[in-house]
Amino acid sequence: GAVVSQHPSRVICKSGTSVKIECRSLDFQATTMFWYRQFPKQSLMLMATSNEGSKATYEQGVEKDKFLINHASLTLSTLTVTSAHPEDSSFYICRAPTGAYEQYFGPGTRLTVT
Amino acid sequence: DAKTTQPPSMDCAEGRAANLPCNHSTISGNEYVYWYRQIHSQGPQYIIHGLKNNETNEMASLIITEDRKSSTLILPHATLRDTAVYYCIVRSRSSGAQKLVFGQGTRLTINP
């Protein structure tokens, strides 16, 4: 079945640095991918929609200059957390729709900012 | 997409059937009911979906009421590995590549 991977699975960085998270669709193409953030004991919150070949669209309250999204190919979307701060520590998950009923999610990336 | 209401938590004994309810009283005619689950520190996993008929697959059964205002996800023989947060989401068929918005879900704990 379709698989979505994320890299890295876990990252620890210092406050003020930038972190890039990759989301790949392994055996299908995805013109659209979605990025979610999840804080402990909370539900997934949609951050933005990544569009291949065009700008991402962000949900209300999500800073586009802080969370840079690049969807350079049909199988890769990247989320860069710029100038990360401890409050950005979270579980980041991507989703890639296949066009079928099932929606494939990545395994998530645990970001810890110290 | 229509809003859903789920109990925040449920417990079930291992080996018994787990029945998870979901209310979606504002569902419209072209909207499907989807169920996903999220095991701790993993990405969500698709379970099942339906429009108006009851559905069954290798993971679960989905029972949708005749008026489609509520549904129940049934895990027939729950195991410890079924401990997870279960999300009921209502969305239209045409929105395969559109937003998928999660509510708070039900935290299901399977007890030995």
What's the gap in Å between the CA of B43 and the closest CA on chain A? 4
Q: Nearest by CB to B104, from A43, A98, A101: name it.
A: A43
Mean pLDDT of chain A: 92
* Bridge partners (DSSP) listed for residue A102: none
Count each helix (H run) and each strand (E run) in chain B, helices first. 0, 9
| A and B: number of Cβ contacts within 8 A | 54
What's the gap in Å between the CA of A68 and the closest CA on chain B? 19
Q: How far is CA B90 from CA B9, B16, B23, B101, in A?
A: 20, 27, 10, 9
Is B102 in Cβ contact with A43 (below 8 Å)?
yes
- For residue range B39-72, what is the model confidence (pLDDT) as tens digits? 999 999 999 999 998 999 999 999 999 999 999 9
Q: Residue B52 is which amino acid? A: K
Question: Tokens 């979605």 correspond to what residue?
Answer: A34
* Bridge partners (DSSP) listed for residue A59: none
- For residue range B69-112, what is the model confidence (pLDDT) as tens digits? 999 999 999 999 999 999 999 987 665 567 788 899 999 999 99
Largest CA-CA distance found in chain B, in angstroms, rounded:
41
- For residue range A36-77, what is the model confidence (pLDDT) as tens digits? 999 998 999 999 999 998 899 999 999 999 999 999 899 999
- Residue-level pLDDT at A37: 97
Is B45 in Cβ contact with A107 (below 8 Å)?
no
- Residues of chain A contacting residue B36, judged by C-beta atoms under 8 Å apart: 103
- For residue range A25-37, what is the model confidence (pLDDT) as tens digits? 998 888 899 999 9
Q: Is B13 on the interface with A (CB under 8 A)?
A: no
- Residues of chain B contacting residue A103, judged by C-beta atoms under 8 Å apart: 36, 46, 96, 100
Q: Give the mean pLDDT of B17-33.
A: 94
Q: Is B41 on the interface with A (CB under 8 A)?
A: yes
Is A99 in Cβ contact with B97 (below 8 Å)?
yes
- Residue-level pLDDT at A86: 97
